[in-house]
Amino acid sequence: MDQLTWKARAKINLGLDVLRKRPDGYHDLRMVMQTIDLYDEIALRVTESGAAGADTIGNGTAGDDAAIRLRVQGGGGLVTADSQNLAYRAAELLMKEFAIRQGLDITLTKKIPVAAGLAGGSTDAAAVLIAVNQLFDLGLDERELMERGVKLGADVPYCIMGGTALAEGIGEQLTRLPSVPQAHVLLAKPPIQVSTKFVYSNLRLGDSDAQSVRHPDIDAQVQAIREGDLYRMAELMGNVLETVTIPAFPVIGEIRDRMMHCGAVNAMMSGSGPTVFGLFDDPEKAREAYTELSKGELAGEVYLTEFYTPETVT
């Protein structure tokens, strides 16, 4: 095998709680993660070693001496095709460790909104790790890939695993959960930039603090998932980071309200935002909400998709 294409799927958080800030600056989290069927496409081809570089089609070329050549299509100019790209770094990590002599051509077609709370970069890294392992027959199992993935980002191990999972620690301690009953997932990203650093540094967690946050009940949500109860799971959706982002960027709350008005079972911001997702049990309502959000002024990017589980999507 010398070439491979891969779908690198995005995630949403059905629940996101922040427990505490750690001495190393990271936060201890508890998150319910769910893969959705919105993906970047990654095509990989093994080449003879030698000429390599990185370029963004239409955006010039960034030369490089490595044997990895990366092209990026899409991404609205926000994703550079250089050695900082997580897809590049993932290939480099394994190719260096295993002293691979051949080269690799990677074409990354971005479809997942960038810096959106959907783990776009992490899922690209996960996909490249999996693909490089296969292409060069490295023989790494899932756990071994995850150990390497966490060096690239806390969400990368989850993206390698995919499906429904509870993520703890900084996001790297994973417990697989049963698949959530299928739902239609409407995503809407307002045309704003929200820095993850801003969100975490403005989060107030202190118990005695007047502004202290209401924590979602992650254990109860996990239980609802184990029972296969979509409605109870949705009722228990909560993201503590909304306590920072909604006051700072009211459009996030407005999109959520609009989705609820359109008949969503529930709606919430994913990750540190700013993308909001709504879950719908009725395809008609989901489609109407998609049309409504698409023509409105609140969201720049709107997508209608569904949960990804290996059983439902090929």
Closest separation in Å from C-beta 156 to ligand ATP: 9
Task: Classify strands 164-169 and 266-269 as parallel, antiparallel or unpaired.
Answer: unpaired
Q: At a CB cut-off of 8 Å and minimum separation 6, what does 141 contact?
A: none
Nearest to 162 by CA among 284, 15, 31, 308: 308
- Judge whether 21 counts as a catalytic residue: no
Task: From 43-51, 113-121, 260-268, 279-287, give the range in contact with ligand ATP by CB under 6 A.
Answer: 113-121
Q: Identify which of residues 159 and 262 has a Cβ nearer to ligand ATP in the complex.
A: 159
Q: Which residue from 12, 79, 185, 267 is in contact with ligand ATP, where contact means CB under 6 A? A: 79
Question: Phi and psi at residue 222, in whole multiples of 5°?
Answer: -60, -40
Q: Identify which of residues 11 and 285 has a Cβ nearer to ligand ATP in the complex.
A: 11
Task: From 56-64, 115-123, 178-186, 237-245, give the range in contact with ligand ATP by CB under 6 A.
Answer: 115-123
Q: Which residue from 17, 124, 172, 306 is in contact with ligand ATP, where contact means CB under 6 A? A: 124
Q: Identify which of residues 145 and 156 has a Cβ nearer to ligand ATP in the complex.
A: 156
Q: Identify which of residues 87 and 132 has a Cβ nearer to ligand ATP in the complex.
A: 87
Q: Identify which of residues 126 and 213 has a Cβ nearer to ligand ATP in the complex.
A: 126
Q: Identify which of residues 10 and 262 has a Cβ nearer to ligand ATP in the complex.
A: 10
Question: Which of 17, 55, 124, 155 does the annotation list as catalytic?
Answer: 155
User: How many residues form the binding site for ligand ATP (CB under 6 A)?
Assistant: 19
Task: Give the footprint of ligand ATP on residues 210-269 (CB under 6 A).
Answer: none
Closest separation in Å from C-beta 244 to ligand ATP: 14
Query: Rule CB under 6 A: is residue 274 a binding residue for ligand ATP?
Result: no
* CA gap 289, 201 in Å, rounded: 33
Instruction: Determine the residue type at 243.
Output: T
Query: Rule CB under 6 A: is residue 62 a binding residue for ligand ATP?
Result: no
- Residue with smallest beta-carbon separation from ligand ATP: 121
- Judge whether 96 counts as a catalytic residue: no
Question: Which of 11, 110, 189, 285 does the annotation list as catalytic?
Answer: 11
Task: From 79-87, 180-188, 210-218, 231-239, give the range in contact with ligand ATP by CB under 6 A.
Answer: 79-87
Query: Rule CB under 6 A: is residue 122 a binding residue for ligand ATP?
Result: yes
- SS (HEC) of the chain: CCEEEEEEEEEEEEEEEEEEECCCCCEEEEEEEEEEEEEEEEEEEEECCCCCEEEECCCCEEECCCCEEEEEECCCCCCCCCCCCHHHHHHHHHHHHCCCCCEEEEEEECCCCCCCCCCHHHHHHHHHHHHHHHHCCCCCCHHHHHHHHCCCCCCHHHHHHCCEEEEEECCCEEEECCCCCCCEEEEEECCCCCCHHHHHHCCCCCCCCCCCCCCCCHHHHHHHHHCCCHHHHHHCCEECCHHHHHHHCHHHHHHHHHHHHCCCCEEEECCCCCCEEEEECCHHHHHHHHHHHHHCCCCCEEEEEEECCCCCCC
Binding pattern to ligand ATP, positions 125-164, x when CB under 6 A? ------------------------------x---------
Q: Which residues bind ligand ATP (CB under 6 A)?
A: 78-79, 85-87, 114-122, 124, 155, 196, 271-272
Active-site residue set: 11, 155
